[in-house]
Amino acid sequence: MRALTLACLCLTALTPLAHASSPDAWAAYDKAVLASCTKASGLKNAKPVGNAAQFDDRVGYTALLLQGQYPQKHMKGAQGTELCLYSKKSKTAFVTEWDSIRPSAKP
Above 80 in pLDDT, residue 17? no
Average pLDDT, the chain: 83
Torsion on CA atoms 52, 56, 58, 61, rounded to nearest 10: 0
Q: How far apart are the first and last CA of the chain?
A: 81
Question: Mean per-residue pLDDT for 100-106?
Answer: 72
Tens of pLDDT, residue by residue over 20-60, are: 689 999 999 999 999 999 999 999 999 999 999 999 999 99
Which pLDDT does position 101 carry in this prediction?
Answer: 87
On whether the CB atoms of residues 90 and 62 are closer than 8 A, the answer is no
